[in-house]
Chain A
Amino acid sequence: MGRLVERIIVLFSWLSGAILLSVICAVTGYLCFKGLKTIGPALIFGSTDPMSALLLRQRVFDGLFPAMAGTLLLVLMSVGWAIPLGTAAGIYLAEYAGVKTKKIFDLLFDLLAGLPSIVIGLFGFSLTLFLNRHVSKELHPCLLLSSIALAFLILPYIIRTTQIALENLPMHNRLTGLAMGATRMQNLVHVLLPQALAGMVSGILLAIGRCAEDTAVIMLTGVVASAGVPRSVLSHYEALPFYIFYISSQYANQQELATGYGAAILLLFICLLLFGLAFVIKKNLPCQVFSQR
């Protein structure tokens, strides 16, 4: 009897593994089968000359260039907001906060991390309406406001990785500097932060991946199907994930759909690349903060 249960469990686990693997193979295989042939310069630049497109001398109408440029700007801006704020907050939690303060902050950051991205997007949208009504009529859903909303989405990731990277440093590292007469600040800047850097950077890379793939937030705060490369931070813009979403439901012809497959492969590749990079940094930089768990 016991043997039978054991056999069933083993069989079941192998079956689950097989299902998971076949699903992942089906997803990636299907994309590659349909989309690999579209991969090439034409996917990104269409019929425009790549050089003049990159120098913004000519518009790209039938390629992914505007969407990629939009995603790149969006990611840079959101990370630009979130890194200083998130790192500082993470340092405060790890190094300065008292037990009680920490508890409250912890709860709130967990909550922020758990909020569905559409809720953050809704917040961004209502913030835009509020600003439009009460601050300046010039403010519409745009790149700037999208990036701010998106920064709130990734903020808890950055806070957490900073905090964990610092907290996991071994006690003796923490004390040596202080014992040699360094102030708390000097200790932090010269001893602790350099050692925690690997953990922090890998966290930031994961946050970038999250920014690059999120669709729900930007859908409500300014992304559009057709805009070209944004000329200012107050413009509408295109983005890669939204393009994929848009094409999936409203492609006009087979050629557009093929571009959609290409875009999906591209986004998948970018996200996995960031993911791999984060992993390599976590493993290979001198201080292995994460391996100590």
Chain B
Amino acid sequence: MRSRILMLLGAAVFFMTFSTSAMAGDLDGFKGEKGEIKIAGGTAHIPVMKEAAQRIMGVSPDVQISIAGGGSGVGIKQAGEGLVDIGNSGKKPSEDEVARYGLHLFQWAIDGVAIIVNPANKVRALSQQQVMEIYAGKISNWKEVGGVDKQINLYTRDEASGTREVFWNQALKKGEIAANANFSVSNGAMKAAISQDPFAIGYVSVGHIDESVAAVAFDGVVPSRETVKEGKYAIARGLYSCTKGAPAGLTKKFIDYLFTAEGQQIVVDQGFITVK
């Protein structure tokens, strides 16, 4: 009887140690680490960065990871200037930028840029031509694309945004964006704004789409993780983290963590596509 209980206990202890070590395996390297990582830039990256940072800070209380937005342009510049340790970018930095700052790039996810509207809006499909005309201000009422008789409220992002650059290059073919467009400062802000404005149109990272907004089919393809992954959805891009020179110490550990099984699981959980 007693030996059986002992055996059970032993098994339980064994199981528990085994399972925790398996779970925390990818985080082991951070135990006992000290120091600070400053992250800024791409706002599509923020949910993944936040989750990774929380897990790391959870196992090692002496590590501080700060996450700021600003947009991809800001991420590239601030990493290049040495103001932050990791600069995120939702577009590939130009050859010139890589050479000028000595940047090292790490692409840890694939993402798409989707056109979104308020869920109350019945319009669920637009052609590229229609999107271009809407953003140029030539189509200014929803009834012209099959919706209600209401003015279209445009939302866009600032020049520093990688999402804007990708959208502008691929969906608008570098076409005009009307001057009356409202500005949002991040993917999160864009989503929040569209979810509150019933007659809005905007564009956001595919990973950020949830039930508070509705994705619009672009040239007949609904943007989703699957369609981006299969290459059917045209507006796709990589998510990059950049460092000035080769990363070292804690920064290197952080970037390595993004490529571990656990790191890539976070990428999937937050709605992006893994690179592995």
Binding site for B on A (CB under 8 A): 56-59, 61, 132, 137, 140-141, 224-228, 230-232, 235-237, 249-253
Q: Does B83 contact A (CB under 8 A)?
A: yes
Contact A141 B184, beta carbon cutoff 8 Å: no
* In the bound complex, CA of A58 to CA of B66 (Å): 16
* In the bound complex, CA of A182 to CA of B191 (Å): 69
Q: Which of B36, B69, B84 contacts A231 (CB 8 A)?
A: B36
B31 to chain A: closest CB distance in Å?
15
**B191: chain A residues within 8 A (beta carbon):** 250, 252
Q: Does B222 contact A (CB under 8 A)?
A: no
B41 to chain A: closest CB distance in Å?
12
**B84: chain A residues within 8 A (beta carbon):** 140
Contact B54 A236, beta carbon cutoff 8 Å: no
Contact B189 A226, beta carbon cutoff 8 Å: no
Chain B residue, CB-CB nearest to A59: B57
A93 to chain B: closest CB distance in Å?
39
Asked, given contacts A224-B67, A227-B64, whether A137 binds B188 with beta carbons under 8 Å apart, the answer is: no
**B61: chain A residues within 8 A (beta carbon):** 56-59
Contact B66 A235, beta carbon cutoff 8 Å: yes
What band does the interface of chain B fall in when counting residues whose beta carbon is under 8 Å from A?
A: 20 to 34
Contact B66 A61, beta carbon cutoff 8 Å: no
Contact A61 B189, beta carbon cutoff 8 Å: no
- Other than the known A226-B50, A235-B66, A249-B184, what 20 A-B pairs have Cβ atoms closer than 8 Å? A57-B61, A59-B54, A59-B58, A61-B54, A132-B81, A224-B67, A224-B68, A225-B67, A225-B68, A225-B69, A227-B64, A227-B65, A227-B66, A228-B66, A232-B36, A236-B66, A250-B191, A250-B192, A253-B210, A253-B212
Q: Which 3 A-B pairs have the closest CB atoms?
A: A250-B188, A236-B66, A227-B66
* In the bound complex, CA of A171 to CA of B68 (Å): 55
* In the bound complex, CA of A58 to CA of B210 (Å): 31
A73 to chain B: closest CB distance in Å?
14
Asked, given contacts A59-B58, A227-B66, whether A132 binds B83 with beta carbons under 8 Å apart, the answer is: yes
Asked, given contacts A61-B54, A140-B84, whether A228 binds B64 with beta carbons under 8 Å apart, the answer is: yes
**Using a CB-CB cutoff of 8 Å, which residues 102-149 of chain B contact chain A?**
none
* In the bound complex, CA of A287 to CA of B36 (Å): 50
* In the bound complex, CA of A232 to CA of B34 (Å): 12
Contact B186 A226, beta carbon cutoff 8 Å: no
**A137: chain B residues within 8 A (beta carbon):** 82
* In the bound complex, CA of A232 to CA of B66 (Å): 13
Q: Does B53 contact A (CB under 8 A)?
A: yes
Contact A226 B66, beta carbon cutoff 8 Å: yes
B73 to chain A: closest CB distance in Å?
16
Contact A249 B185, beta carbon cutoff 8 Å: yes
